[in-house]
Structure 1
């Protein structure tokens, strides 16, 4: 009896297993696929072509596993990195499978075909690129193109941060100009801003113009204007070569009231700033009564003396000026008033005696003609850089029997040493050395 019952029990269990087998196999043929986003799209990927998709549903689907298939699914949602999952029929799976879309995805799209897109330091695309922001992380994106201001974006995938956009349009409109060939030490000022060093990139916002001033001590400043206007033909250049060939010299004179002439034209007193164009020269002359004249050529030419940034000119006192007098009687024929009691012969003797006190050499003397001319007397001043020559000429204005004489004191100057001067180098001087001026006073006193 017991043996019969055991046989019946084994038979019952076998039947129960056979009856339940279809239900077990059916459970392994289907899996419930769900996503953490209700609006996520679940699609089946074709085994032959990963590009071919069959849409299965949204949020949750019952997926029937196929024999001899990868059973590959793609779960997508705008703004999230797509997730692929596979369920080969050869494996066993839980009845339910949750797919998590956690990494964010941003489509970067530029308005320039050749714009370069970088995620951090990595180049990820040209014109367009998909940027993945992992969960709890941040990503920095740069979009740049030569000649344009680089655009920078920060995307965050963190609970306490703003969600990244699905698509980020990038408009590269602000231009950038690279200043090339800037001299060392050059200063750059943008608009009315302060001049600063080490500025070599100029941003030109869209729809605006930017004026740039480039300066360096000792050089003529350079001003450039860059405009970034819609539809304009004169777009800002990518690279702007800076040429600073013209020079500037600041002249400072002492005494401060000394007059300064540029190329012979009076320009001011005490100080002057001159511009010397490339390949040209400028001549500066600084003068003041009682001081030695300063004159110099400043040339911006190859092989010329290096130009100073600042030229401090201290005028030296003129020794000749202090030893002379300004007089309207100089270089002028002066009639001599002679007393009637003085004969012509006596007057002539008096004139000879007075003149030869200082002028011991007579070049020409003729009593009958009433004509006397002394040899030149030369006096050198200012360390032999300034020569004064003087002479006396006496003539009779009528009959030699009459005391009708006139006298002319000649005073001339030349810049240079006496032994280096020619007659053509001398010019009339409106001053006379004091020691010679006394001759005129004595003549007038003794003949009157």
Structure 2
């Protein structure tokens, strides 16, 4: 009987195959206040991740002013070897550094003027065309103007900017001006791909003064 038990145990192990442990990975980040998301759930600025056998884990590392890192780890035969630890050096977001947060981005700003309508319209056009190369629509009779999108691509982002002007009223004379700033979150996005852009609460520095200039010069 004593000889049979070891034999049974050996046979059970042989048929069951080798026993594999789940993989574990410890991630740390260069920026202490970055947030690591594991399968969409935040886990702070460092994380120890358990990766079940045969499964994958999606890791996203986020910090304002830096490019987002998206990583994936799989505990599968065909996947790359999972390290025991990983240090991630976040890179600066150059679109963030080239811009600043402005409260009036994507909001209508009322600009009142005491100038005659013809003079106000001409002056406003001069200011806008000094900043934007192409006027897409202009109609003096209705007081409507819209520039074409001005597009700038960065390492991890595409920014498109335009100005829209609408006549607000004639007594007193005022215009509603909106500086529209949008981002796609990826480089090289076509400005025509509307579905890939979303409002951005920042404005490229080159356009930061255009609304204030209109306000000051139309007084």
Normalised-by-shorter TM-score class:
0.7 to 0.9
Residue number in structure 2 paired with 1:321: 96
What SS does the aligned partner of 1:316 have? Answer: coil
User: Does structure 2 retain, via aligned residues, the 8 Å contact 1:335–1:405?
Assistant: yes
- What SS does structure 1 have at the residue aligned with 2:136? strand
2:131 aligned partner: 358
- Report 1:4-403 matches (<5 A): 114-115=1-2, 146=5, 243-244=19-20, 246-269=22-45, 271-338=46-113, 340=114, 342-382=115-155, 385-399=156-170, 402-403=172-173
The one of 208, 214, 217 aligned to 1:443 = 214
Q: Deviations over 1:287-317 (max 9, x none)?
A: 1122111122323345344433322211101
Change (3 A) 1:398 1:441: closer
Q: 1:348 to 1:312 in 2, by over 3 A?
A: same
Aligned residues: 216
TM superposition shift of 1:348: 1.3
Report 1 or 2 for greater relative contact order, CA contacts < 8 Å, sequence distance ≥ 6.
2
Structure with the bigger percentage of strand: 1
Q: Which runs of 5+ in 2 are unaligned?
A: none
Give the Cα–Cα distance (whole angstroms) in 1 for the partners of residues 76 and 91 of structure 2: 29
With over 3 angstroms needed to count, the CA separation of the structure-2 counterparts of 1:305 and 1:378, relative to structure 1, is farther
Give, in whole Å, the separation in 1 of the partners of 2:202 and 2:189: 22
Q: Deviations over 1:323-342 (max 9, x none)?
A: 1111221111111132x2x1
Matched residue, 2:178: 408
1:276, distance to aligned residue in structure 2 (A):
2.4
Q: CA deviation at 1:242?
A: 6.1
CA contact (8 A) 1:247 1:278 kept: yes
Deviation per CA, 1:176-228: give whole Å up to 9, x if none. Answer: 99x969xxxxxxxxxxxxxxxxxxxxxxxxxxxxxxxxxxxxxxxxxxxxxxx
Alpha-carbon distance in structure 1 between the residues aligned to 2:189 and 2:33: 34
Q: Contact 2:165–2:175 (CA<8 Å) still a contact in 1?
A: yes
Q: How much has 1:346 moved relative to structure 2?
A: 1.6
Q: Are the structure 2 counterparts of residues 368 and 265 from structure 1 closer, same or farther at C-alpha, using a change threshold of 3 Å? A: farther
Deviations 1:233-291 (A, max 9, x none): xxxxxx9976325332222111121111223332212x112222234332222111221
TM-score (norm 1): 0.44
Q: TM-score, normalised by structure 2?
A: 0.85
Q: CA RMSD in A?
A: 2.8
Structure 1 runs not aligned, ≥5 long: 1-113, 117-144, 148-175, 182-238
Q: Is the 8 A contact 2:181 2:199 kept in 1?
A: yes
- Mapped pair 1:434 → 2:211: no
